[in-house]
């Protein structure tokens, strides 16, 4: 990547990044069109290939940007002293949500990028890394003694993850289909409500309010 891209004012840079993320989210790498990217970013074809030497390089840049951004944001903004699982998960969810306010198609891009990795080895490696990161989120400093006896923690995590992703999908749908505006506080309130419900049903009586 030409360093001139980094010197662009951030509004223009984000316009290009978001346009590219969107195009690569909606289409496979091969079918994603640089023409569409420049049109939506409102720049000329030549400009794009001035910043990036090729489509492939643009794609690689986006991959590392997404990866780096996600990891850094999670590292920074998560309170790693938090011992309550549901509060931890809520924080991670909010971080992802905030990132997608700046880069709306980042998560879509990740999924598309992962689905179309070429070799199985690379897929397995990425999967392994993702699992590592998530294990840290779910385990580092977390107090599991609050849970009722006999509760299968792995299942709890599946349930909570599934629920949050479901909420995110529903919001996405409301925004794109019903043209609802995105109300950040409402989203956080909703996630909060679910987390309280989870505490109520999964924690021992005496631990319900401590979380």
Decide: is 55 part of the binding site for DNA (CB under 7 A).
yes
Stretch that binds DNA, among 34-42, 61-69, 87-95, 192-200 (CB under 7 A): 34-42
| Binding status of residue 35 toward a second copy by CB under 8 A | no
**Counting contacts by CB under 8 A, is residue 155 touching a second copy?**
yes
Residue 130 touches a second copy, criterion: CB under 8 A? no
Q: Give me the long-range contacts of 71-76 (CB less than 8 A, separation at least 24).
A: 71/133, 73/98, 73/99, 74/133, 74/137
Interface with a second copy includes 6 (CB under 8 A)? Answer: no
CB of 25 to DNA, least distance (A): 14
163 belongs to the binding site for a second copy (CB under 8 A): yes
Q: Minimum distance between the CB of residue 40 and DNA, rounded to whole angstroms?
A: 12
Q: Is residue 11 a contact residue for a second copy (CB under 8 A)?
A: no
Contact 160, 198 (CB under 8 A): yes
CB neighbour list of residue 122: distance below 8 Å, 6 or more residues apart: none
Q: In degrees rounded to 5, what are phi and psi of residue 116?
A: -110, 15
Please say whether the beta carbons of 20 and 34 come within 8 A.
no
Size, binding site for a second copy by CB under 8 A: 31
Q: How far is the CB of 156 from a second copy (least distance, A)?
A: 9
Measured from the Cβ of residue 198, the count of other Cβ atoms closer than 10 Å reads 19
List b or e across 137-159, with b for residues whose CB sees 16 or more CB atoms inside 10 angstroms: bbeeebeeebbeeeeeeeebbee
**Selected range binding DNA among 27-35, 67-75, 117-125, 194-202, rule: CB under 7 A:** 27-35
The span from the CA of 207 to the CA of 37, in Å, is 51
**Which residues here bind a second copy, judged by CB under 8 A?**
26-28, 31, 115, 120, 123-124, 127, 152, 155, 158-159, 161-167, 170, 173, 176-179, 193-194, 197, 201-202
**Which residues here bind DNA, judged by CB under 7 A?**
4, 7-8, 32-36, 43-47, 49-50, 53-56
């Amino acid at each position: 990547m030409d360093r001139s891209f980094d010197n662009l004012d951030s509004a223009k840079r984000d316009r290009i990044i978001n346009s590219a993320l969107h195009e690569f989210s909606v289409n496979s790498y091969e079918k994603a069109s640089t023409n569409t990217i420049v049109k939506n970013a409102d720049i000329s074809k030549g400009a794009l290939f001035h910043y990036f030497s090729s489509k492939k390089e643009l794609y690689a840049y986006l991959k590392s940007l997404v990866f780096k951004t996600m990891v850094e944001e999670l590292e920074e903004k998560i309170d790693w002293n938090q011992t309550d699982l549901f509060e931890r998960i809520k924080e991670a969810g909010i971080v992802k949500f905030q990132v997608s306010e700046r880069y709306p198609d980042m998560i879509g891009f990740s999924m598309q990028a992962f689905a179309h990795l070429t070799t199985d080895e690379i897929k397995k490696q990425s999967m392994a890394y993702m699992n590592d990161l998530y294990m840290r989120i779910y385990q580092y400093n977390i107090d599991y003694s609050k849970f009722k006896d006999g509760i299968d923690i792995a299942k709890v995590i599946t349930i909570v993850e599934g629920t949050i992703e479901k909420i995110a999908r529903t919001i996405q749908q409301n925004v794109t289909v019903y043209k609802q505006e995105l109300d950040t506080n409402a989203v956080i309130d909703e996630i909060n409500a679910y987390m309280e419900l989870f505490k109520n049903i999964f924690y021992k009586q005496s631990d319900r309010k401590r979380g």
